[in-house]
Amino acid sequence: MPIELELCKQFGVSRSTVREALKQLVRQGLLVRKRGVGTRVCAVAPVSQCVQRMSGVSDLIQYATETTLHVDKSEIVSVSGDVAVMLGASEGETWLHVRGLRFTKGSELPISFTDIYIAPRFRSVEGVVGRVACAVYTLIDRQFQASIMTVGQEIRATILSEEMAHLLIVPPHTPGLVLARRYLDERGDLTVCAISVLPDSRFNYRETFRRDSVLLR
């Protein structure tokens, strides 16, 4: 892209107008701005958001089938510290760690970077390499007959680090979300824990609440 002063001359507008226009194009995923490199075009149409509507576990399955996880690493790791606490695991316990970028179909820009931890009893699960077009826990269900009965979810705001912003192809310090989900089986034991980091412009979470009929009496 031309520098700001050239754009001001070309369109006959102020520098503040150009900056605001560029900011909006960055938020739409059309441009990427990097210090020392400048502004480059990365798309010619606005990046589509991943819109997730939630009412039950089946919606999670639908979400996974509409996206593809490009696995970057899949390995057995010994968990410790904060990770062990998050998983409710003992220090040194070995889990299967899978990580990668998730994409919506037809998009070249990732919607999230995801870390997945799979419980020791399921770490031999097959199919978590390359491109995975289904939910990891559905692979576990098929191979081990271990159904997911409960999903716990936490969402918090974050600011993307330079490293994470580079992976997600957004400017450093872009606002984002951390989405953590814990998948429990019928005994209440943790099967899978997935932590995803998402840029604010590529994910929209919707939930509908209906008033209990008892309250209407």
Q: Tell me the per-residue pLDDT of 5-36, one tens digit each, with 9 for 90 and over.
A: 888 888 888 888 888 887 777 766 667 666 66
What pLDDT does 50 receive?
47
What pLDDT does 34 receive?
64
* 72 token code pair: 């970057």
Verify that 117 and 19 share a domain, yes or no.
no
Verify that 75 and 113 share a domain, yes or no.
yes
Is residue 133 scored above 70 in pLDDT?
A: yes
User: Would you say residue 154 lies in a domain?
Assistant: yes
Tens digits of residue pLDDT in 108-132: 889 999 999 999 999 999 999 999 9
What pLDDT does 156 receive?
93
Verify that 108 and 64 share a domain, yes or no.
yes
Q: The domain that contains 172 carries what CATH number? A: 3.40.1410.10
Answer whether 0.85 is exceeded by the pTM. no
User: By residue range, what is the domain housing residue 31?
Assistant: 4-41
Tens digits of residue pLDDT in 27-71: 666 676 666 667 776 655 555 554 445 556 666 656 667 789 999
* Mean local confidence (pLDDT), 87-107: 93
* Mean local confidence (pLDDT), 176-182: 92
Verify that 127 and 193 share a domain, yes or no.
yes
Count the domains in the chain.
Answer: 2
User: Would you say residue 179 lies in a domain?
Assistant: yes
User: Would you say residue 111 lies in a domain?
Assistant: yes
Verify that 89 and 194 share a domain, yes or no.
yes
Verify that 14 and 82 share a domain, yes or no.
no
Verify that 29 and 54 share a domain, yes or no.
no
Verify that 19 and 85 share a domain, yes or no.
no
User: Would you say residue 134 lies in a domain?
Assistant: yes
The whole-chain average pLDDT of the chain stands at 83
What pLDDT does 120 receive?
97
Residue 200 or residue 95, greater confidence: 95
Verify that 26 and 63 share a domain, yes or no.
no
User: Would you say residue 105 lies in a domain?
Assistant: yes
* Mean local confidence (pLDDT), 158-183: 93
What pLDDT does 22 receive?
78
Verify that 198 and 135 share a domain, yes or no.
yes
